[in-house]
Chains A and B, each alone.
Chain A
Amino acid sequence: MATTQTTLNTGLPPQSETDEARRIDGFVVSTALTSLALLAGLIGLEAPIDRVWLLFVGVGLGIALYHAAFGFTAGWRNLVLKRRSGGMRAQMLLLAIATVLFVPVLGFAETLGLTGISGTLAPVGVSLLVGSSLFGFGMQLGGGCGSGTLFTVGAGNLRMMVTLTTFIIGSVIGTMHLPWWLAQPGIDPVDLIAGVGVMPTLVLQLGALGLLAMWFARIERQHHGEVERAILQRPVGPWYTTLLKGGWPLLWGAIALALLNLATLLIAGYPWGITFAFGLWGAKVLQALGVDMAQWAFWTWDYPALALADSVLVNVVSVMDFGLLLGAMLAAGLAGRFNRASRRPLPARSITAAVIGGLSMGYGARLGFGCNIGAMFSGIASASLHGWIWFACAFAGSLAGIRLRPWFGLDQ
C-alpha cells in the first residue's frame, strides 16, 4: 500500500510522517468548498438539477481516488517491475464489483423502469488497438492515467498540470484524425449482455476477473513467497479519521468508485467518462482563437457538435471532471498535503516525459474511445468487448512506457 501511494505522484508521504504535517489545511479546504458552492450554484441556475448531482458525484470520485490513492498506472508498473500485485488485484476487485452492479441494471433496465440508460459500448478495430496501446505507453511517461492525471492536478501537482495540458492538446489532435482511423477495418460494438444474456455475462466476466486476480497473486507469490495484504489492509488510525484525512484501504476505494459510477449511470444515463471533456476544452479554446471546428468531421457529429456549442456547465463529462478536481483538492486539504508533490524541482527530462506522455494519452484516448475509466472501467462494467481489448492493448503499450521511464530520469 505504501509503495503504491508514494509512486502515484499524489504527494502522499511515507507513513513515518508526523501527525503535525497531516493537520487539515483550512485554506485549501475552505477554498475548495467555496469553489464547489459557487459552481453548484451556477449550474443550478442554468441547468436541470441532475447536473448538480453529477458535480457532487464527481467530488466523491475525486475524494475516493485521492484518499485511497487509487491509481492504475503504478499498479500496472508494480506488477511488471516489482512483481507486486496489490494494485492489479484491487483493480480486478473494482471491475468485479462494477460488473455485479452494472450488468443486472443494464440487462433488466426496461423491466426496472429505467428508460434512456445505456452502457459504454464502442467499436472494435484498428482505432481501438492503436489508441489503447498509445494510451498505455503514455500513462507510464505522463505519470498517471486519465483519472490519475485529473486527481493529482486537483491535489496541486505541478508536473501533472503539464501532463494535463498536453493531454488536452493530444485529445484535440485525436478528434481531428479519429474519422480516418474509424475508416480502417473494424466491427461494431460487441455487447455481451445483448449477446449471451445477464447471467452468462456475470459468470463470464467474474470468472475472467477472478482468474486474472489469481494469476497476478501467483506471480507475486512466486517472486516473494507471499502475497501482500494490500486490499484488505486495515486503516492505520480510527476509521473516521481515515475516512476524513485519507489513507483509505484500497477496498474502500474500489467500493466507492464502483458505487459512484453506478450513480453516474443512473443519473446521467451512461457511465463515468473523463477524456471527452479534454478534447472539448481544447476545441473550445481553438474555436475561441478563430479556428472553424466545423471543418473537422468529429465536431460535426451530433453529440460533439452540441457539446461544443453548449456550455461546459451542462456537459456531463466536464461537470464531473470539475467535481473530481475540486474533490481531490478538498481531500488533499483534509490530508494537509495540497501541492506536496511539487516540493521537489522538476527536471527538464521529467517535463519532457510529461509532454510525451500527455500527448500520447490524449491522442490514444480519442482513438481508443476513452481512458482507464471511460473505456476500461466503464467499458468492462458495461460488458462491452472493447473494454477488455482496451485493457490488454493498454497493458502492452504500458510495458514499452515502463522501459522508457529511466531514460527520462523517472523512478521505477
Chain B
Amino acid sequence: MTIQRDYSRIRVLAVLLGLLVLILADHFNSATFALNSGQGGVATSYSQLDSGACAPCGAPCPSED
C-alpha cells in the first residue's frame, strides 16, 4: 500500500541542497574558516570581547553611569 505524499521529494532535496550551498558559501568567507586555514590575527566568535551588545537578542549593555 502506498502513502499519498503531500510534497515532491525532488523539491525537498533541492531546497535542502540550496540551503547547504548558502551555508557553505557563508562559511568559506568567514573569520572562523580563515583562522582554521592558518590566517593569524583574525577575531572569531570565540575571541570576542562583547562590549557593544550584551546578549544575542541584540540588546545593548547597561550604561556605565
How many whole Å from B30's CB to the nearest CB in chain A?
4
Given A31-B16, A310-B44: A46 and B26 interface contact (C-beta under 8 Å): no
Could you tell me if A301 and B52 are in contact, using CB atoms closer than 8 angstroms?
A: yes
Whether A339 touches B6, Cβ cut-off 8 Å, given contacts A46-B36, A182-B60, is yes
Chain B positions within 8 Å of A, measured between CB atoms, are 1, 3, 5-7, 9, 12-13, 16, 20, 23-24, 26-27, 30-33, 36, 43-46, 48-60, 62-63
Which of A62-70, A214-222, A367-375, A404-412 is the interface stretch?
A367-375
Say whether, besides A121-B55, A284-B26, A310 and B49 are in contact (CB < 8 Å): no
Q: Taking the complex as formed, is A338 at the interface, i.e. its CB lies under 8 A from any CB of chain B?
A: yes
Which stretch in A74-82, A255-263, A314-322 binds the other chain? A314-322
Binary contact readout A292-334 vs B (1 if CB under 8 angstroms, 0 otherwise): 0000001011111111011111111100000000000000000
In A81-128, which residues have CB < 8 Å from any B CB? 118, 120-123
With contact pairs A48-B46, A303-B53, A338-B6 given, residues A309 and B62 touching in the complex (Cβ less than 8 Å) = no
Chain B residues, Cβ within 8 Å of A46 = 27, 32-33, 36
Q: Which residue of A lies closest to B30 (CB)?
A: A311
Residues in A with CB closer than 8 Å to B33 are 46, 311
Shortest B8–chain A CB gap in Å is: 9
Asked if residues A375 and B3 are in contact (CB atoms below 8 Å), the reply is no
Complex Cα distance A369/B61, Å?
Answer: 12
Complex-state Cα separation, A123 to B60, whole angstroms: 8
- Among residues of B, the one whose C-beta sits closest to the C-beta of A279 is B58
Range of interface residues on A (Cβ < 8 Å): 35 or more
Closest chain-A Cβ to B28's Cβ sits at a distance in Å of 9
CB pair B31–A339 under 8 Å, yes or no, is: no
A60: CB under 8 A from chain B? no
Closest to A368 in B: B57
Shortest Cβ distance from residue B38 to the other chain A in the assembled complex, whole angstroms: 13
Say how far A4's CB is from chain B's closest CB, in angstroms. Answer: 22
Residues of B close to A307: CB separation below 8 A: 45
**Contact between chains at B55 and A273 (CB < 8 Å):** yes
13 contacts between A and B (CB under 8 A): A27-B9, A42-B23, A48-B46, A156-B6, A270-B55, A270-B56, A284-B26, A302-B51, A306-B31, A309-B43, A311-B32, A338-B6, A339-B6
